[in-house]
Structure 1
Amino acid sequence: MKIGYIRVSTAEQNTIRQEILLKELGVDEIFIDKASGKNTDRPELKRMLTYVRQGDTVIVESISRFARNTRDLLDLIAQLTTKQVEFISKKEAIDTTTPTGRFMLTIFGAVAELEREYILQRQQEGIAIAKDLGKYKGRKPICHPEFDKVVAIWKSGNMTAVEAMRRLNMKPSTFYRKVRKIK
């Protein structure tokens, strides 16, 4: 059975291009995650790894859609290999059924990780230049009309931090950072 795996970096990104490619390749089942490659919480990837059986082939559009660093890539391939599942990456033309394919997989994984590091480095350099020129504003601030009211209730002890975060629809890091700013 041919199994497809798709990952896009955000929930807003479209999966159609990858779905069309996988369907053209005769994939029987597709698992889709909408999360950053840096994020290790990819429920559909976990589900796919449980779903695959001996003799199956996992097909992805690109290694960068499957794993973003070499260690993660090699760990995932090891899990597939243990189950005697093949792996094909269309973009890089990698097929793990051959020694050359396994070697190329390791090389492409390292290159993908290097490219990601270069992108982050260029991004940091660009931000530093923009800051020097006074053009960098950062993210748009999260503004919630009830924030001050909810924080006051929380500080008075009439609401837990978890309840406050849930009411404001904020993650803990955002909540506590905003609380520190108003002190």
Structure 2
Amino acid sequence: MKIGYIRVSTQEQNTIRQEVLMKSLGVDEIYIDRMSGKNANRPELQKMMEYVRKGDTVIVESISRFARNTRDLLELVEQLTAKGVEFVSRKEAIDTTTPTGKFMLTVFGAVAELEREYILQRQREGIAIAKEQGKYKGRKPIEAPEFEQTIAKWKSGAITAAEAMRTLHMTKTTFYRKVKRLR
């Protein structure tokens, strides 16, 4: 069976280009994740890894869609190999059934990881420059006009902390950080 894996980095990004490729390759089953590839903790990837069995072939558009660091890539491919599953990356023309394909997989995996590191470095540099120019000030603080009244109710025992957080639309971390600053 041919199994396709598709990943885009955000919910807003479009998967159509990858889906068209999978259909043209005669893929039987497709798994789609809409989240960062920085690690292998992706729900559809995990479902696919559990689903595949001996004789299947996992097809991806490119290595960067499957894994963003060499270690994850090699571990995932090793898990597939242990199950008797082939791995094919169309963009890089990698087929893990050959020694050359395995070698190229390692090389391209390292390149994908390097590319991600460059992206993160450029992002950090851009933020630093924007801060120097006064254009980047970070996230705006959460302002809740009813904060003090809600905290007073919570401290008096009229409402629970969970109710106070819901009322103020705050996460647990934000709530307790702001409470701590009041002291």
TM-score higher than 0.5 here?
Answer: yes
Residue 150 to residue 111, structure 1, CA distance change in 2 (3 Å): farther
Q: Does 1:52 align with 2:65?
A: no
Contact 2:39/2:67 (CA < 8 Å) preserved in 1? no
Q: Does 1:132 align with 2:139?
A: no
Deviation at 1:46, TM superposition (A): 0.9
**Which consecutive residues of structure 2, in runs of 5 or more, have no partner in the other structure?**
none
| Distance in 2 of aligned mates of 1:59 and 1:167 | 47
- Whichever residue aligns with residue 129 of structure 2, its letter is I
Higher mean C-alpha displacement, 67-76 vs 164-173 = 164-173
Deviation at 1:34, TM superposition (A): 1.4
Identity of aligned residues (%): 75
Identify the residue that residue 77 of structure 1 maps to in structure 2.
Answer: 77
| Distance in 1 of aligned mates of 2:103 and 2:169 | 46
Q: Does 1:9 align with 2:33?
A: no
- 1:1-183 paired onto structure 2 within 5 Å: 1-139=1-139, 153-157=153-157, 158-161=159-162, 171-176=171-176
Residue 128 to residue 23, structure 1, CA distance change in 2 (3 Å): same
Question: Structure 1, residues 60-109: CA drift from partner, whole Å, max 9, x if none?
Answer: 11111111111111110011000010001111111101100000000111
| Distance in 2 of aligned mates of 1:65 and 1:36 | 9
Higher mean C-alpha displacement, 11-20 vs 85-94 = 11-20
**Which consecutive residues of structure 1, in runs of 5 or more, have no partner in the other structure?**
none
| Distance in 2 of aligned mates of 1:73 and 1:42 | 13
| Distance in 1 of aligned mates of 2:40 and 2:150 | 32
- Whichever residue aligns with residue 65 of structure 2, its letter is R
Higher mean C-alpha displacement, 149-158 vs 74-83 = 149-158
| Distance in 2 of aligned mates of 1:160 and 1:82 | 49
Deviation at 1:114, TM superposition (A): 0.8
TM-score when normalising by structure 2: 0.84
Question: Structure 1, residues 123-154: CA drift from partner, whole Å, max 9, x if none?
Answer: 11111111111111334656677766665555
Residue 130 to residue 44, structure 1, CA distance change in 2 (3 Å): same
Contact 2:73/2:109 (CA < 8 Å) preserved in 1? yes
**1:123 counterpart SS class:** helix
| Distance in 1 of aligned mates of 2:88 and 2:167 | 45
**Which structure has the larger Rg?**
2
TM-score when normalising by structure 1: 0.84
| Distance in 2 of aligned mates of 1:136 and 1:75 | 38
Q: How many residues align?
A: 182
| Distance in 2 of aligned mates of 1:8 and 1:106 | 22
